[in-house]
């Protein structure tokens, strides 16, 4: 099986998995890393967020957390089909749910049981090595748009030569949209301050609205800045391997 075990950094074409073992292997990161799911009703319908709170392999079921916004639960209870997207480490996992959901409860909290998909699409899209910043090396980051349009301050979580992941306190999903160009991104690193325009790739609000993770790609990075970031990523890559 090639897909969840891929170790190189080359982008891979999308692959469709149909065996139970492959499907469970693709879904486990969403449970173990508490990854947000993007749920869409209809091709151009509203989008909602949820999490996988349990995988019941014996019964072939997935327990979904409460939806954000909660309006999504009404659509779910109507039995409407929906599309699910999950993103992590440059990998996109997608499947479609056609069967009605069943309302339930786990640990005193409402959940919704849905059937495990009979097939899902696994797509490794990143072609640049990305490193997580060491815990003893936090980096401040900002997104700025115009003089007072947008001013977000948070932290840089990981970095590659082509983009990075940012974390901001609270829910910023209403401020940022995939595909949006932000005029000014800055991050304070040991090598100096990085400053560039960035494209928003994905936005997710985590841990019950306590913080949001934002994936961005650099836009028209200068050659000097590109080389500076590549050297820093290589240095971090070596340090992370020693740390591990």
When pLDDT is cut at 50, 70 and 90, the band that residue 9 belongs to is very low
At 12-70, the pLDDT tens digits run 678 899 988 889 888 988 888 788 899 999 776 788 999 999 999 899 999 999 998 88
pTM for this predicted structure: 0.53
Residues 104 and 138 in one domain: no
Look up residue 114 and give its two tokens.
């849905």
E-assigned strand segments in the chain: 15-17, 37-40, 47-50, 52-56, 61-64, 82-88, 91-97, 102-106, 109-115, 120-124, 130-132, 140-145, 150-160, 163-169, 181-189, 192-206, 211-219
Is 83 inside any structural domain? yes
Give the pLDDT confidence of 77-131 residue by residue, as tens digits. Answer: 999 999 999 887 667 899 999 999 999 999 888 999 999 999 999 887 655 556 6
Does the pLDDT value for residue 183 go beyond 70? yes
Helix or strand holding residue 232 (H, E): helix 223-243
The predicted structure's pLDDT at residue 4: 43
- The CA distance from 171 to 208, in Å, is 9
Range of the domain at 120: 15-124
Q: Residue 145's domain is classified under what CATH number?
A: 2.40.10.220
Q: Which residue has the tokens 């080389």?
A: 227
Number of domains the chain is built from: 2
In whole numbers, what is the pLDDT of the chain averaged over residues? 82
Which secondary-structure segment (H or E) carries 73? helix 71-77
Q: What is the pLDDT of residue 55?
A: 93
What does the radius of gyration of the chain's CA atoms come to, in whole angstroms?
A: 19
Task: Give me the pLDDT at residue 6, please.
Answer: 39
Domain boundary among 68, 94, 124: 124
* 218 shares a domain with 150: yes
For 143, residues 6+ apart whose C-beta sits below 8 A from its C-beta are 150, 151, 152, 166, 176, 182, 184, 185, 198, 214
Task: Give the model's confidence band at 242: pLDDT under 50 very low, under 70 low, under 90 confident, else very high.
Answer: low
| Total residue length of the chain | 244
Same domain? 111 vs 77: yes
Instruction: Find the mean pLDDT for residues 174-203.
Output: 87
Q: Please tell me which residue, 65 or 221, carries the higher pLDDT value.
A: 65
């Amino acid at each position: 099986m090639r897909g969840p075990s891929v170790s190189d950094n080359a982008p891979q074409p999308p692959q469709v998995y149909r065996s139970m073992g492959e499907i469970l292997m693709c879904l486990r990161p969403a449970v173990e890393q508490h990854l947000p799911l993007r749920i869409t009703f209809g091709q151009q319908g509203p989008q909602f967020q949820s999490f996988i709170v349990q995988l019941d392999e014996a019964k072939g079921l997935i327990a979904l957390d409460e939806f954000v916004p909660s309006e999504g639960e009404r659509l779910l209870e109507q039995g409407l089909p929906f599309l699910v997207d999950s993103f992590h480490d440059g990998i996109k996992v997608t499947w479609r749910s056609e069967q009605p959901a069943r309302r339930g409860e786990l640990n005193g909290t409402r959940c919704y049981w849905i059937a495990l998909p009979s097939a899902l699409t696994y797509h490794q899209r990143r072609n640049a090595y990305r490193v997580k910043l060491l815990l003893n090396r936090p980096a401040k980051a900002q997104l700025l748009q115009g003089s007072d349009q947008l001013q977000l301050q948070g932290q840089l979580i990981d970095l590659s030569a082509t983009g990075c992941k940012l974390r901001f306190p609270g829910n910023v999903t209403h401020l940022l949209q995939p595909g949006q160009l932000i005029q000014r991104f800055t991050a304070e690193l040991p090598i100096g301050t990085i400053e560039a325009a960035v494209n928003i790739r994905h936005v997710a609000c985590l841990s019950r609205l306590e913080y949001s993770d934002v994936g961005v790609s650099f836009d028209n990075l200068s050659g000097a800045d590109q080389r500076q970031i590549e050297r820093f990523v290589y240095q971090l890559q070596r340090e992370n391997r020693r740390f591990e």
